[in-house]
Amino acid sequence: MAKHQLKVGLAQIAPVWLNRDATLDKVISYINEAAAQNVELIAFGEALVPGYPFWIALTDGARWDAADQKEIHAHYMDQAVQIEAGHLNGVCAAANKGGVALYLGIIERAKDRGGHSLYCTMVYINKLGEICSIHRKLQPTYEERLTWSPGDGHGLRVHDLGAFTVGGLNCWENWMPLPRAALYGMGEDLHVAIWPGSKRNTHDITRHMAKEGRSFVMSVSSLMRPADFPKSTPYLHEINEGIGNVEYLADGGSCLSGPNGEWVIEPQVGEEGLYTAVIDHARVREERQNFDPVGHYSRPDVTKLVVDRRR
Sheet holding 273-280, edge to edge: 131-136, 118-125, 101-109, 41-43, 5-12, 273-280
- Cβ atoms 220, 45 nearer than 8 A: yes
DSSP string, 9-74: EEEE----TT-HHHHHHHHHHHHHHHHHTT-SEEE--TTTBT---THHHHTTTT-TT-HHHHHHHH
Catalytic (active site) residue 71: no
Distance CA 55, CA 137 (A): 20
Tell me how far the alpha carbon of residue 8 is from its chain's centroid. 14
- Backbone dihedral angles phi then psi of residue 285, each to the nearest 5 degrees: -65, -35
Catalytic residue among 137, 173, 199, 212: 137
**218 contacts 10 by C-beta, under 8 angstroms:** yes
Among candidate residues 7, 33, 108, 171, the one labeled active-site is 171
Count the neighbouring beta carbons within 10 Å of the beta carbon of residue 264: 18
Give the integer Cα–Cα distance in Å for 44 and 191: 13
Residue 7 designated active-site: no
132 is catalytic: no
Annotated catalytic residue, options 46, 188, 212, 287: 46
* Active-site annotation, residues: 46, 137, 171
